[in-house]
Structures are given as C-alpha cells and as structure tokens.
Structure 1
C-alpha cells in the first residue's frame, strides 16, 4: 500500500524533510543542526523557536519547540524533538532519524491528537545552498502512527499508519514519491443537516472506513509533475481517484509562489489585489498535459438507486430509465451535441451495470492554464474539445 496530507500540523513534517544519503561521516555541531532545521522550516512557511538544546552533534534534543505558520499569530507547541544518527556528508548535514512527541491541540471545541511522527534520512543543506534539496527539502521516509479528531469526547475522524517515501534526486531521473494511510474512519452521524443525515442513515454510511494511496514523480529540471495515483477508497461504497500531469512546476515557480505567499502574510487585512494579480500571472506558467477523475463502484450506486426508488415508490430500474431520459435534456444547455451524446452513452452504460466511470482530459499539446481559464469564460462549449475530454464507463 502506498499516502493524503493534514493541516497545518501534518504539513509541518513535510516541511522538515529531506533526502537520505547513506554516507558515513563526522558528527555535526548541535547548534548548526538546529539552525539549519530552522532555516528549512522557514522556507516551508514555518517560524520555529526552542528553549534549549541538549546533547551533541550526533544525538540531540531540541527542547520546548514551538512553530508558527506564516500569517498566524498563535504558535503551536510541539515539545521536545529528538534527532539521532546525525552526521555530515560534505557541506550537508544528514539526520538519520527525527522523532516528534505526541501532542494535542484544540480549536472551537474540536480536539486533535497526533502521535508517532518520525522522519528518516533528513537532509539539511548549508546556508547559501541553492540546490533543489535546500529549497524543497528531502527525506527517505516519514511516518505518523495516528491522527484523531474528537469533539466532546466523541471520535469524528481517525487516520492510522500514514507512511510516505521519496527517492533521492538525480540528474537523469525524476524524484519519485509514494505513500498511503492504511486506514481512516469517519463518523458521519454528527452531520447536522437533517436531510443529509437521513440519506446517510438510509444508505448505511453512518460510519465509514477506508484507506488512501498515492504515487507520482517530479522532475525539477523541467517542472514536470505527474500524479499517477491518488485514491480514496471507502469500504462497501467505492474508490474515487484522480491523476494529473502538469508542466512548469519548477524550483523557480516554487520560490516565486512562496515569495507571493510571504507578502500576502505581511499584508493580511490590507488590499492584496497586487499579490492576487501576481498569483494569477504565476499560474500562467503552468501547463496541463492531462488529467483523470475516476470512480470505481463498490455497491454505492445500487444503494443510491434503491434509496431514490423507495422515495418515489418505484423500482431501481425505473429510476435508471428516468435518469437516462433526462440527462440529454439537462446537458442540452451546454450547446455541445457531441459531448452530450458521449456523456449520455457513458452514464447510461454505467447505470445499467455500475462498475466504473472515468472522465479524462488529454489535450493534443500541453495547454497553458491561462488558456484553459480563458476558454472556460469565453467559450465554455468549446472547452471539452480543447481539452480532449472523454468520458468512459466500465473500462
């Protein structure tokens, strides 16, 4: 099984990480290790501080660590962070293992507990290093045993055994990454909307269980970012997955994006129209090579059909026929007969035999995001053809 993402505290770990290079070398200076860790976190938008440092350059404890996300006034107390198997490889400091303590925080009656966060193979670049490792941060692997969200003693959401892996960067191969959370559980009975709650109860999804998986690659030299898999699977419901392939996500793009975000943090509460325009201009550097959105059914569709049929006093087959008849008329307002025919055929095939439904975009040439946005505003009926959009069922 191979990962999703948590905010802002799980993002903190991603901000700490760097690539593992297993060379034996001399121990580093403890203060220098801490200073480099602080610098790496600042590049990820986190301001860190601590009350003291115990140990030496090979094994140390950063005591009373607190972090403050960019644009936030309140710091988060993390406690003591343990760093072990620290060594130097040239100008780079490598932390064999970084372990964070268990901690909890609360916001508006919602409590979050996180335990078992650790990072292996953390690379800390020297001051002034402009490498990809210095800018983005790399690690060999990272783990989190669990994250639990509760309110008034009741568990709302849990995520267990999150594991992430990343390959070292090389000049002739893209960085590869993968990850998974072995299990998540969500209690949907706490949803307050009565109508939604009734539907969830009728479908039998008061509590849902599932898992998450992802994998992909990134080439810093040309900015090609490919997400091969991002799947969210829910037991006895189905799997929704997405992929994308974009260009232009270079280190220069990342740095420019961080600069804009930093300025937005400095001017919070003021006019940020200039930063907004800069953000739009920056996004124009990205290009779309392709993307998919897919649903693989595991009884959810049949349950939904049976629920709607019971509401209308009909049989599920009659609901399917109604949907197939109404869909072409609903899509007629798009003024795209070709797309209407393709969607109607695919959805009809899926409803007759629910297996999978997939939307795929594959433009003939990389399509700038600015062109996609312009097309959506000026000629939306032509956008599906421009994107090379296709919809298929049970394939």
Structure 2
C-alpha cells in the first residue's frame, strides 16, 4: 500500500517548480503531447503506457494509463488522464490543466482512495535539452482534494485539500515553493501494541487532527535548497517544525540519485553493497549550511507529565524534577560539559513553563556531510561544537 501511494505522490510532488507561462499558437499533434508525457514520466523514474490517445492537440486524453516504477514489476493503473488548455511556449508544450480520476487500491484489507488530483501549468520541454526544465518536471500548482485510508469500514487516516505551488527563478533569485494540507486526521485506536494503545488512550489522543505547511526555495545552479518551513501541527498537542539549508542538490545530483535508485530496484534481493557505496558517495556531495528542529507545545507536555505522575502515584511537578535531575547524568557519557549545561538549562526552563524547545545547527562555515559523518564516528564529543549546535527554550 505505502509503496504504491509513495510512487503516486512522487509523480505529484517531484520537482515542485513552476512558472507564469505565456500562451502561444499551437501546432503539435495529440501524439506528440503523449510522447512528451511519456518522457515526463521517465524523469519521475516510471515507465508509462496507455491503451490509446485521443484529442486534437489542444485537448488530449491518455486512455487507460498504467505506470510502472523502473526496475520493478509493480504496475499502477491510473485510468484516463485528461489534458486541457494545451499551448506552446517556443519548443515547450504547456499543459494548462491536467486531471486524473479517483485513484483507489486495496492491500491486505486496507483500502486507499485518492480524489481530485490535478496539475496546472505543466511544462513538457523537448527531448535532449540541457536546461533545468528538461531534467525536472515543472508546473505551477498541484492539488489533491482528499486521500482516505480505511479498513473494515473505519477511516484510519484522511488528508484534505493538499496544495503545492511554485514561482519561477529570476535572474538573481531562486525558485520558490510552498504547500499546505488544510486538514489531516488519524484514528490511533488502530494501534495494535497494547502498551502504546493504552498510552494513547490515557493521553486522550485516540483521534488526532491537524494541518501541515511548508515553504522554501531552490537554486538549480548551485543546488542550494532552503526549507524555511515544514510544520506539522496536531490539535491540543503541539507543532513540530523543521528547517534545513543545504547545498549541492543540483539537477546532476538528482539524476545520479535516480540512477542509483533504479539500479537498487533492479537488483532487489541481491547484494547491493556497490549501490549502497554509490549512495554514500552521492550524499558526500551535499553540504550542510544550517538546520533547526522546533517544538511548540499545545498542552502535550502537561498531559505527558500528568500521565507519568499517575503511573507513579506522585505529582506532575515531581516527574519534572526527576527529569531535571537525571538529564545531566544521562548526558555525562558525551563528555561535553558545555553541551550538558546548555541542554539542562533549556530543558529545565521548558519543563517549568512548557512553551517551545528548539535545537539549532549553525556551523561557522558550510559543512560537507562527509565531515559530519566522519566526526560522528571518530570524535562525537566534538561534533556539537563543529555543528554549532545550540538549544533554547521558550524563545
């Protein structure tokens, strides 16, 4: 189930790059539009076939579409794909609207249904180009009305109004992207582990709801990828937020990653040590400029303290004091007194008044991932200083 869903979402989300597109005269055939679509699927690591193509070039229908991830035997039927408001911008075909039917499948008693998949402003450049648009699928926006996962008639997970959009890069500016899901919900009563299920029930999180938001930018020239916001908020619990700034995520890097992934898929069940080493080699091309992980509390901390206190027959404040006392001893094995003092001070402040807790990495200069990995293995006690790691509470 998760495999098919992730492949479909990869089709929708890979790239997330778009432009305000001028419209021009149209002269290509429906068959040429279909060929460009086939090439676009290939850029997503999927082979696409269809039973037929109909239309006049400005409106095209791909009938009975089936996609198959390269190197696998898994075929994913997508049904008919409708392409409308097709025009040209030079040699690039511009699909004003793309829509797909309801997509559904079942696996081991779990049913997944996806409604309202649409893309606008999709660019289909000619084959053989060296520009970024020829290597990564660009579109203005992508939408998914809802995704529902059910089992035995009960909804396990749902996601509503997922939307992504992009603005094109300028002469001196990177492209920008943003996205959000207005609502998601999950039924945690389906958890099978008895202990975890009891904990969820005691905390009052058998049914959770929330939303997510993201925003960032990408410069294809130097591969600078900045995720300024990636927030997942759960009602009456809190918000987990991630930001990251890396370099080296170039179109060439993306192509190399796809090649390695394809080889790994083709050799599934065989020795993949060579592909694993290739993947590690690719990761060393990335450079870390900074990152942060933040938690903004919305009563979760108080609920956890109350739950632990009830189990031990003490007050929540006693549990908080126990945590304050234990933390320095737990961190002593890192042999980093400065980090221990900073973490203890921040955690103590947060437990006294739970508002927010943030871990931030800000190296003095861009840090290659290879150096981070080497430092973690050879001198872990020096890694926090190398990363410029800080932790703050209620700021």
Which band: TM-score by shorter chain?
over 0.9
| Contact 2:16 2:166 (C-alpha < 8 Å) held by counterparts | no
| Contact 2:40 2:124 (C-alpha < 8 Å) held by counterparts | yes
State the partner residue of 2:143: 143
Q: How far, CA to CA, are the matches of 1:161 and 1:152 in structure 2?
A: 25
Q: How far, CA to CA, are the matches of 1:19 and 1:230 in structure 2?
A: 20
Bigger shift: 252-261 or 266-275?
A: 266-275
| Offset of residue 27 of structure 1 | 4.4
Q: How far, CA to CA, are the matches of 2:230 and 2:257 in structure 1?
A: 24
| Contact 1:15 1:41 (C-alpha < 8 Å) held by counterparts | no
| Offset of residue 109 of structure 1 | 1.7
Offset from partner CA, 1:149-203 (integer Å, 9 cap, x none): 1111111000000000011233321010000000000000010111111111011
Q: How far, CA to CA, are the matches of 1:115 and 1:195 in structure 2?
A: 35
| Contact 1:115 1:146 (C-alpha < 8 Å) held by counterparts | yes
Q: How far, CA to CA, are the matches of 1:16 and 1:231 in structure 2?
A: 20
Call closer, same or farther: CA 1:155–1:326 in 2, change over 3 Å. Answer: same
Spell out the pairing of 1:313-352 with structure 2 (5 A cutoff). Answer: 313-352=313-352
Q: How far, CA to CA, are the matches of 2:301 and 2:56 in structure 1?
A: 59
| Contact 1:328 1:341 (C-alpha < 8 Å) held by counterparts | yes
| Contact 1:181 1:211 (C-alpha < 8 Å) held by counterparts | yes
| Contact 2:17 2:167 (C-alpha < 8 Å) held by counterparts | no
Bigger shift: 254-263 or 91-100?
A: 254-263
Q: How far, CA to CA, are the matches of 1:18 and 1:298 in structure 2?
A: 34
Offset from partner CA, 1:245-297 (integer Å, 9 cap, x none): 00111111111111222222232222222121111111111000000000000
State the partner residue of 1:81: 81
Q: How far, CA to CA, are the matches of 1:321 and 1:268 in structure 2?
A: 50
Q: How far, CA to CA, are the matches of 1:290 and 1:245 in structure 2?
A: 5
State the partner residue of 1:3: none
State the partner residue of 2:9: 10
Unaligned regions of 5+ residues in structure 1, if any?
1-5
Q: Give every structure 1 segment of 4 or more consecutive aligned residues whose post-TM-superposition deviation is greater than 6 Å.
A: none
| Contact 1:18 1:123 (C-alpha < 8 Å) held by counterparts | no
Query: SS of the counterpart of 2:135?
Result: helix
State the partner residue of 2:124: 124
What count of residue pairs does the alignment treat as equivalent? 390
What is the TM-score with the length of structure 1 in the denominator?
0.96
State the partner residue of 2:265: 265
State the partner residue of 2:223: 223
Unaligned regions of 5+ residues in structure 2, if any?
none
User: What is the root-mean-square deviation of aligned Cα atoms in Å?
Assistant: 1.3
Call closer, same or farther: CA 1:24–1:12 in 2, change over 3 Å. Answer: same
Bigger shift: 18-27 or 146-155?
A: 18-27
State the partner residue of 1:189: 189
| Offset of residue 89 of structure 1 | 1.3
| Contact 1:27 1:86 (C-alpha < 8 Å) held by counterparts | no
Q: How far, CA to CA, are the matches of 1:85 and 1:103 in structure 2?
A: 23
Q: How far, CA to CA, are the matches of 2:31 and 2:81 in structure 1?
A: 14
